[in-house]
Amino acid sequence: MSEKSKNDEVDFSFKCPSCKKGKIRIHKTTYDVPDGDKMLFIKFECNICNFSNNDVIPLTANSTPGIMTLRVSNENDLKSKIYRSPNGKLEIPELELFVVPGPNADFYYTNVEGILYRFENAVLIYRKNLEKDDVQEEEIDKILHDLHKAIKGEFEFTLIITDTGGGSYIIPEDESKYSFQKFEQKELNLK
């Protein structure tokens, strides 16, 4: 993230969830990132106790279509932020997880852990609706087993977002595990 920041704003609004006495100070800062995008950095701070929290939200769409790849191998990587635009296809091949773009696909902004929990929910519902002795049962139980390990940071996997229109983001906790591969114009024409 660049040093350039502007639009610093501070306001007080809600009561502290930790001490219940203080007021939460919300500090908003807009950062210009080197590729021309803007990110909103929000810091929540209590004026009495030491409660604080922060979040980063992309403000402008990343317009470069490409493939974003994040290697997840520990608990820290699970905190990496993920923002999938409706153009983005999200997949975790090792867990047979695929989220395809479509008019009904929602935008979402979460972290890797959030994606795993959503997926676990969907798989559990699917498993419940299987007929007794369905051949898929064994395969699904294997996925659930790996998924539980993944949620604890004990299963290594790759999260890939393929975005032909741009707009998706991965904000890695560990930069060294992230890579971005830009699409060439002729590759885009084929899609």
> Going residue by residue from 30 to 69, which x/- string records binding to Zn ion, judged by CB under 5 A?
----------------x-xx-x------------------
How far apart CA 84 and CA 94 sit, in angstroms, is: 19
Residue with smaller CB distance to Zn ion, 33 or 42: 42
> Which of the residues 83 through 102 are near Zn ion (CB under 5 A)?
none
**Stretch of 18-26, 116-124, 144-152, 161-169 lying at the interface with Zn ion (CB under 5 A):** 18-26
Q: Which of 189, 191, 183, 151 is nearest to 67 (CA)?
A: 183
Q: Which residues contact 166 (CB under 8 A, 6 or more apart)?
A: 61, 62, 63, 64, 65, 66, 85, 87
38-46/23-32 β-pairing: antiparallel
**Stretch of 19-27, 95-103, 130-138, 154-162 lying at the interface with Zn ion (CB under 5 A):** 19-27
15 binds Zn ion, rule: CB under 5 A: no
Residue with smaller CB distance to Zn ion, 16 or 123: 16
How far apart CA 143 and CA 71 sit, in angstroms, is: 18
Q: Least distance in Å: CB of 20 to Zn ion?
A: 7
Residue type, 107: F
Q: Least distance in Å: CB of 112 to Zn ion?
A: 29
For tokens 């021309």, name the residue.
Answer: 36
Residue ranges that bind Zn ion, judged by CB under 5 A: 16, 18-19, 22, 46, 48-49, 51
